[in-house]
Amino acid sequence: MLMHETMRWFGPHDAVSLRDIRQAGCAGVVTALHHISVGDVWTVDEIQQRKALIEEEGMSWTVVESLPVSDDIKRQKGNYLAHIENYKISLHNLAGCGIRVITYNFMPVLDWLRTDISYTMPTGSKALYFERLAFVAFDLFMLKRPDAEKDYTATEIEKSKQWMSAHTEEQKAKVFQNALLGLPGSSDRFTPEEVLAALKTYEDIDTLKLKEHLFRFLKEVVPVAEKLDLKMAIHPDDPPYPVLGLPRVVSSEKDLQEIVDAVPSPANGLCYCTGSLGARPDNDLTGIIERLGKHIHFLHLRNTKRDAQGNFFEADHLGGDADMFEIVRELLLLMKQRNVSLPVRPDHGHQMLDDLDKTTYPGYSCIGRLKGLAELRGLQYGLSRSM
């Protein structure tokens, strides 16, 4: 049994078309209704319109990425009760339209973070890159977050000062703009004022409290999902550790285990992302499959190359720190054991070839993801034949 191959599509305004994705050999599309404000209901009409576009190109839409969780829900303040009820209604509407997997995350304020969205590789292709020291410099001296120095060692602070001195204003501006990128599917950037104001609303929320809020959210929505035969799949934090003084609670195997234990249900599960989890050297990627495999409902297969300083970049799908051979083998065994074909998508491909002259969402150009998909397809085909 092979994986159900998909690609992420950001909707009609995406520079990568549905026809492009179909030509890549995908049977399905992973998408979301990014034009609907976070916290509002996804109506049946809006869902059906998006579904019709995908089916017209001969593909299916069975995985949502993402049905976003509002910051009000994460903080349990403001309109969070109304947002939870709207979330339940959206789940009903998605299930009625044939959607089966609901991906979401619980990262406060910001989504994934990178300091360079066009890091030049030796081949000339462009990759996403997170430079730890550049991010510290951004936090301390560009964003100027109050009391940020409490989160860093004296050595980190001194080295970040040296980083500021060694880089041009243009280079600093690039880091500043990249760190303030908006949510996936949006071309907007956050302003420093917006981020600082949002951070202030989390001042009384530590790791324990944020985790409690996640568990309360799950206790509300998972029973609904279970009745509807939906699978909830939480995406790990990216990077998988606290940033900007914000707690992050989906970063380690321990976090994942606590999440599935908090609300035991076949509907309460995981999006297994080898890139996000693999950015932490203490995460055992194959071990997570072995121990938590029955809770995995969606796969993001990508690879990162990290160093001891906390830097990492998006490597070739078969070329980073994650042992993709062992990971794919374990996943094939898992699917055989569970008698399921898990949906998978290649993630964060390099910008390369003709795509170097196109403007796409960072990490989501077509050719780099096609290359990653082809590598993963060949790997799993070879492994499945040998098994």
Instruction: Show which residues are catalytic.
Output: 235, 273, 300, 347-348, 364
Length of the chain equals 387
Q: Give the CA radius of gyration of the chain.
A: 20
Burial class (CB in 10 A: 0-12, 13-18, 19+), 248: buried
Q: Would you state the structure tokens that stand for residue 272, as one six-digit string?
A: 């297994």
Rounded Cα gap, residues 35 and 204, in angstroms = 31
- β partners of residue 351: 126
Please report, for residues 44, 239, 241, the alpha-carbon distance to residue 282 in angstroms, rounded to integers and kept in the order given.
42, 13, 12
Q: Do 128 and 115 contact (CB within 8 A), yes or no?
A: no
In 3D space, the residue among 40, 209, 216 whose CA is nearest the CA of residue 108 turns out to be: 209
The angle at the Cα of 50, spanning 46 to 55, to the nearest 5 degrees, equals 140
Rounded Cα gap, residues 34 and 313, in angstroms = 26
Amino acid in position 7 = M
HSE toward the beta carbon, residue 115, CA cutoff 13 A = 19
Q: Would you state the structure tokens that stand for residue 127, as one six-digit string?
A: 């990759």
How would you list the strands of the sheet with 312-314, edge to edge?
A: 116-120, 126-130, 312-314, 304-306
